[in-house]
Amino acid sequence: MDAIVITSVPQGDAPLEIRKAWVGLTLPLHEFSRHGPVSMPAISVLAASEDIWLKVKRKFGWTYKAENWWGYVVPSDQAIHILEASSPIAAQWWRKNTPGLLLAGDTLMFDANCCKPLESSGH
């Protein structure tokens, strides 16, 4: 598998309109997900961001609890670049609210129920 198509609104803590913008997009898979969906701990995209208030809360002991998700992992920088072409407003939301997740090597996870895997043309 090389990619997924987002077929329905993904789970998450981004606003609904922002999550809806993913529907219909084809996203490349990270090597973690090349053989199918994976189960791994996932935390809120907002908790993982570099938001100063979340940093302050964490300093005083407040934490988000990681939950195991079953889904597909994609490179976040590539995903946002693809999102930009169809919904600049949604891409801007991600850049503004989750800057710590958009560096090369960072990932986003989409729940398996909202995705359809695509086989490469060579298979």
Query: CA-CA distance, 94 to 98, in Å (whole number)?
Result: 5
* Residue 123 covered by a domain: no
Neighbours of 60 (CB within 10 A): 6
Count of domains forming the chain: 1
Residue 120, C-beta contacts closer than 8 angstroms, at least 6 positions apart: 1, 2
Mean pLDDT value across the chain: 84
The parent domain of residue 9 ranges over 3-118
Beta bridge partners, 71, equal 38, 111
pTM > 0.85: yes or no? no
Q: Quick one: average pLDDT of 88-104?
A: 88
If you search the block for the tokens 């973690």, which residue do you land on? 32
What tens digit of pLDDT does each residue of 33-70 get?
888 898 877 766 665 555 555 556 556 665 555 678 89
